[in-house]
Every structure is written in structure tokens, then in C-alpha cells.
Amino acid sequence: MPIPIIRVHGLGVELGGNPVLRDVDLTAAPGEIIAVIGVNGAGKSTLLRCLAGLQPPGSGELHVLDGPPRDDPAFWRDVVLVGDEPAWYPGLTVREHLELVRTVHVSPRFDVEAGLELFDLKERADASPLTLSTGQRQRLSLAAALLRPSRLLLLDEPERGLDAAFRQRLATILTEYAAAGGTVVMATHDHRLAEATLARQIVLTTEHVEHLETAGHNDNAENRA
Ligand SMILES: Nc1ncnc2c1ncn2[C@@H]1O[C@H](COP(=O)(O)OP(=O)(O)OP(=O)(O)O)[C@@H](O)[C@H]1O
């Protein structure tokens, strides 16, 4: 068993005086894909924000990569968070956004034309992101996230806006990322995406704010909240 790059033990978070996460345990090793599932409000985004160092834990221990997650440049060199839509540069096209990402990162994972092809953006390469459809903008967000080198991908509902065919392709892209040694933690409402990536599934519930962990893509991974 490789050394885990995520170790969470007894994590608790309160927001606005209410418990959102209580006693959450999670480990993830290089090459693993974890799907965090649960109803709206179960705490999936909060868990991702904790892993990204954006939400301090109320209790428990968090270890991500080399220590507690921290919102600083060294941490973000290895970690990518895809959540809410990023701000786009109005003057830059889709291709130029990817060129920008490729230019500023050492050892990008693929070239721009390959990225446009992989994320099905070739026909919109010269458009402004602001003129893209919702799903096309999500594909651009994911393309930029996957283009840069990283060890850990934190994805909050990556399926948002994507059609069925591209969700299938995304499963392949994430599987290949993990096969190359990367770790993925994704909050998702898409059981098919979780299953297609052979993700280990964890379920967050609201009723007792309890945490259940299940191995593999099995029947226990239903939404229990
Ligand atoms: N800043 C905040 N202040 C108070 N409560 C908050 C805050 N942010 C989130 N919450 C609450 O915490 C709970 C968990 O929210 P979170 O966004 O983590 O859920 P989620 O599982 O990601 O939901 P969804 O599936 O809708 O994205 C919700 O009840 C939400 O209302």
C-alpha cells in the first residue's frame, strides 16, 4: 500500500453554528480516485474546501501531501481545485487561455492542440469563453485543470453541464490521470461517473452527519442521507 497523500481523521466542521461534518475519516493514496457522494447539503463541498486548506477544521486531523493543507503557492503547485466557474479573461480566446496555463506551468501535461481535441473544444478555440455554452465552459475549466501538472485533483461536481458522452470521456481522462499516479477526490451526484472511474465511494449523510466509507464501486455506496 503506497503512503497516503490524504489522511483525515475525526474531521469536524461547524458552519453558522450547525454541524456540517462530524467525525469524518478518509485516506487516499497516489493513483486513487475517491467519489464523495451525498444529498444536497451533506457537506461534500465543505470537505473539498477542507482538503484544499480553504476551510479550517473545527476538530480532527488533516494531512494533505506533506502536512496540513495550506492555502499557499507551494501547496497549490501540487493541488488543483475545480469548483465554481473561474473568472475568464475577456480579451483571451479559449485557445489563449490554455496557452496561458501552459506557459506559466513547468511540465504541462499535454500541448494546447491536444487539449482542445481531448476536451472537444477545437471548433470553439477562437471564441471567447464568455460566448461558450455552460458545458463548453466546464470543459474549458477541466482542460485548464488537467493541463497543468499536479498530484491531487479536487473536483466539485465535475459533471456539471456535461452531456453523457463527455461524462464518459471525463471518466477516461480521470482514470488516466490516476493511472499516472495522481489522486482524485471528486464530489459528485453522478453515480455513473463514480462507477466508470472505479472510484472508491464515500457517502456523507445529513441526518446524523455521519460518515460511511465503502470499498470499490459497490452497492453499499448508495446515498444514505
Ligand atoms: N458559509 C456558510 N455558513 C453557514 N452554513 C453554510 C455555509 N456554507 C455552507 N453551509 C451549509 O453547510 C451545509 C453543507 O454545505 P455543502 O455546500 O458542503 O454541501 P454539499 O454536499 O456540497 O451540497 P450540494 O450537493 O448542494 O453541492 C449546507 O447545509 C449549507 O447550507
Q: What is the mean pLDDT of residues 13-42?
A: 95
Instruction: Find out whether the beta carbon of 57 lies less than 6 Å from any atom of ligand 1.
Output: no
Percentages (nearest 5) of helix, strand, coil residues in the chain: 35, 25, 40
Q: Predicted confidence band at 1 (pLDDT cuts at 50, 70, 90)?
A: low
What global pTM score does this model have? 0.91
Q: What is the mean pLDDT of residues 174-187?
A: 98
For residue 47, the ligand 1 atom closest to its alpha carbon is 18
Could you tell me the three cell numbers for 168?
464518459
Query: What are the distances in angstroms from CA 126 to CA 105, 158, 161?
Result: 22, 24, 21
Q: What is the mean pLDDT of residues 115-137?
A: 97
Backbone torsion region of residue 223, taken as left when φ is above 0, otherwise alpha when ψ lies between -120 and 50, otherwise beta = beta
The whole-number pLDDT of residue 59 equals 96
**Interface predicted TM-score (ipTM):** 0.97
In tens, the pLDDT along 34-87 reads 999 999 999 999 999 999 999 999 999 999 998 999 989 999 999 999 998 899
Distance 103 CA to ligand 1 centre (A): 35
Could you tell me the three cell numbers for 187?
464530489
Instruction: Find out whether the beta carbon of 17 lies less than 6 Å from any atom of ligand 1.
Output: no
Could you tell me the three cell numbers for 201?
465511494
Q: What is the mean pLDDT of residues 97-115?
A: 95
Q: Does the structure show a pLDDT above 70 at 99? A: yes
Q: Collapsing DSSP states into helix, strand and coil, what is residue 159?
A: coil
Q: Does the structure show a pLDDT above 60 at 211? A: no
The whole-number pLDDT of residue 206 equals 77
Which stretches of the chain are assigned E, i.e. beta strand?
A: 6-15, 18-28, 33-37, 59-64, 79-82, 152-156, 183-187, 200-204, 211-213
- ∠ CA 145-147-151, rounded to 5°: 70
CA distance linking residue 136 with residue 146, whole number of Å: 15
* β-sheet with 59-64: strand ranges across: 18-28, 6-15, 59-64
For residue 157, the ligand 1 atom closest to its alpha carbon is 27
Q: Does the structure show a pLDDT above 90 at 223? A: no
